[in-house]
Chains A and B, each alone.
Chain A
Amino acid sequence: MLKFRETTMRIVFLIAALASVAAVVLICVFLFAQGLPAMGEVGILDFLLGERWQPLHRETPVFGVLPFILGSIYVTVGAIILGVPIGIFTAIFMAKMCPKSIYGFVKPALNLLAGIPSVVYGFFGMMVVVPILFDTFDMVDGRSMLAASIILGIMILPTVITIAETNLRAVPQELYEGAVALGASHERAVFKVIFPAARSGVMAAVVLGVGRAIGETMAVTMVAGNQPAMRMPYELFRGIRTMTANIVMEMGYSQVGSLHQGALIATGVVLFVFVLIINTLFSMLNKEKNIKDDMKKEAAETAAEPTS
């Protein structure tokens, strides 16, 4: 009886554990099964490199997602340019400079920043960032590539700071002491020794920030303007549409089973592939760090053993 119960529950646990595997398989199968045929019908190259998106054109609907792929890349790069320097410097500050009293205030504040829902970011962007841009730069409409980049730059801060800080703290103290012993000042030791030592971890933080930025939907949709047109990277003050925004904008009124809906799902497939690549990159960078940690631990253990 007892044996029976043990075995049943073990199987129940295993089945529960396999649910996440099933979920990933289902997501892949259903997205690809619905997206790829549409992509094929449009023509893969026409779809990925097409510059026009006119899904409701009466005679010849055109489905080119290049403007959205570029749009996603532009706003992500913008977010990186604006957010990463501030994020990394803040991370260095928190890991190596911050007085304890201030840390006790900044750290919880950052955790709060991480928890703010993306609609609130978007709403803030609509109400504050967009009007300010509108007034300052005399734009036609404040909703623009720049506005989206600014909001995304703020949104990736907590991700970048938290991961970069953890990795900076993981650098062995001996490196710092060595630098100081060689006559470096505190700042010089931190910037020239500790920061380079944590490089791959900091890169991992940036990559995870990229992942967040490229997948962000609501906040971007609310401030980017969403015009489905080709833009050049320097057209900062004009509206832009990302892959995520394209899905949100049109999914609601696309016909079930139509080529239009298929093309929107295919946009999701392209986004999904982007995100998978970014995540693989992240776990590779993070693994490098984990391997280093393991080596460190081993070294410490061997050092701790008494030598006869």
Chain B
Amino acid sequence: MDMVKIKKFIRKKKPADWIRFFVMWLSAIITVFILLFMVGFIVIRGVPHLTPSIFSPTWTTANQSLLPALFTTIVMVLVTLAIAVPFGVFTAIYLVEYAPRGSKVVRIIRTTTETLAGIPSIVYGLFGYIFFTIWLGWGISLIAGCFTLAIMLLPIIMRTTEESLKSIPDSYREGAFSLGAGRLRTVFRVTLPSAMPGIFAGVILGVGRIVGETAALIFTIGNVVRMPDSLLAPGRTLSLHVFTLANEGMFVDQAYATAVVLLALVLGLNALSTTIERRFRQRLQ
């Protein structure tokens, strides 16, 4: 029976119900208010300071330009994706298309990815520092940060790819097999292309994570303002830039402005990811 039909049988509210009713509404209002207030506050304080000087191509202590940080962020995103996406997608392909259901390997991989997803970013930062920076001798460098982030990203990309592949109806695969395609051909010509939007949504979600990350990067890429001219050099991403400006407390206006750019980037990416994901689901149905 659907809600409309049930509605007329439901008893009227008693005093206790009114209290429950108001508590729920109040909580929801508080949640939404906090969100709007937080984003609104930063946008209102930051937008007036989005002056040309903050986008100036050369950074000086006076202008605190965010351009080097922005470029570093973009470079980090590209390199990290280049490492994480093949591994994540291939893992998902193995789990969905190749591995026998419920096999031991699948169980182990699933447990480890769950573990990876739960590790806090500061622990990744520590590991990245111990392993990539010191043990492998890469020093404080963008590439050490990229590898650290790539491990962080694995579970996200893997999970979204796996879900997209699973949502492709088996009839697609059966159709390909019956036309004589091998498993590999089926994967690359049929299932993977159909699952592409879902995978893409996951990748964009991952980009959002990279852009917003701080704790995993502070010991791996360091905190030096510089244009990203080499992957072996240290640098500073947008998030680290906000963190440093805020902590120094001398360029609060620039911190607000940078935070606005960061928020716009991350929220935009998340919104894009959700939209693609929704379209993908609709098209499958």
Q: Using a CB–CB distance below 8 Å, which chain A residues touch chain B?
A: 2, 5-6, 9-10, 12-14, 16-21, 23-24, 26-27, 30-31, 34, 85-87, 89-90, 92-94, 97-98, 105-106, 108-124, 126-128, 154, 157, 161, 177, 180-181, 183-188, 190-191, 211, 214-218, 222, 244, 247-248, 251-252, 256, 265, 268, 271-272, 275-276, 278-279, 282-283
Report the minimal beta-carbon distance from B146 to chain A, rounded to whole angstroms.
14
Q: Is the CB of B247 within 8 A of A86?
A: no
Nearest A residue to B83, CB-CB: A19
Report the minimal beta-carbon distance from A23 to chain B, rounded to whole angstroms.
5
Q: Using a CB–CB distance below 8 Å, which chain B residues touch chain A?
A: 1, 6, 9-14, 16-17, 20-21, 23-28, 30-32, 34-36, 38-39, 41-42, 45, 86-87, 90-91, 93-95, 98-99, 105, 108-109, 112-116, 118-127, 129-131, 134-135, 151, 154-155, 158, 182-184, 208, 211-215, 218-219, 239-240, 242-243, 246-247, 252, 255, 259, 262-263, 266-267, 269-271, 274
For the complex, give the distance between the alpha carbons of A186 and B116 in Å.
41
For the complex, give the distance between the alpha carbons of A39 and B6 in Å.
63
Report the minimal beta-carbon distance from A64 to chain B, rounded to whole angstroms.
20
Q: Is the CB of A90 within 8 A of B27?
A: yes
Q: Is the CB of A16 within 8 A of B91?
A: yes
10 nearest CB pairs, A to B: A215-B120, A117-B212, A16-B90, A89-B27, A13-B94, A115-B270, A187-B17, A279-B118, A217-B215, A93-B24
Check A19/B87 contact, CB under 8 A, given A90-B27, A123-B42, A275-B123: yes
| 30 cross-chain CB contacts under 8 A | A10-B183, A13-B93, A14-B98, A14-B105, A16-B86, A19-B87, A19-B91, A30-B127, A86-B30, A87-B31, A89-B27, A105-B32, A115-B267, A117-B214, A117-B263, A119-B243, A119-B259, A120-B42, A123-B243, A123-B255, A177-B6, A180-B11, A184-B11, A186-B17, A214-B120, A215-B122, A215-B123, A244-B215, A251-B218, A276-B115
Check A119/B212 contact, CB under 8 A, given A16-B90, A17-B91: yes
Among A2, A12, A24, A248, which residue has its beta carbon within 8 angstroms of that of B218?
A248
Report the minimal beta-carbon distance from A176 to chain B, rounded to whole angstroms.
8
Check A16/B274 contact, CB under 8 A, given A120-B42, A271-B120: no
Q: Is the CB of A185 within 8 A of B130?
A: no
Check A247/B126 contact, CB under 8 A, given A117-B262, A180-B6, A275-B118: yes
Q: Is the CB of A216 within 8 A of B119?
A: no
Q: Is the CB of B28 within 8 A of A30?
A: no
Main secondary structure of the interface of B (DSSP, over half): helix
Report the minimal beta-carbon distance from B250 to chain A, rounded to whole angstroms.
14
B31: A residues at CB distance < 8 A: 86-87, 90, 106, 110, 113, 157, 161
With contacts A113-B31, A222-B246 known, what are 17 further pairs, Cβ within 8 A? Answer: A17-B95, A20-B87, A20-B112, A26-B131, A30-B130, A85-B27, A86-B30, A87-B27, A116-B39, A117-B212, A119-B240, A119-B246, A177-B6, A183-B11, A186-B10, A256-B134, A279-B115
Report the minimal beta-carbon distance from A103 to chain B, rounded to whole angstroms.
10
For the complex, give the distance between the alpha carbons of A126 and B269 in Å.
26
Q: Is the CB of B120 within 8 A of A118?
A: no
For the complex, give the distance between the alpha carbons of A55 and B212 in Å.
31
Among B21, B41, B182, which residue has its beta carbon within 8 angstroms of that of A6?
B182
Nearest A residue to B36, CB-CB: A109
For the complex, give the distance between the alpha carbons of A154 and B213 in Å.
18
Q: Is the CB of B184 within 8 A of A9?
A: yes
Report the minimal beta-carbon distance from A45 to chain B, rounded to whole angstroms.
23
Check A120/B263 contact, CB under 8 A, given A31-B126, A187-B20: yes
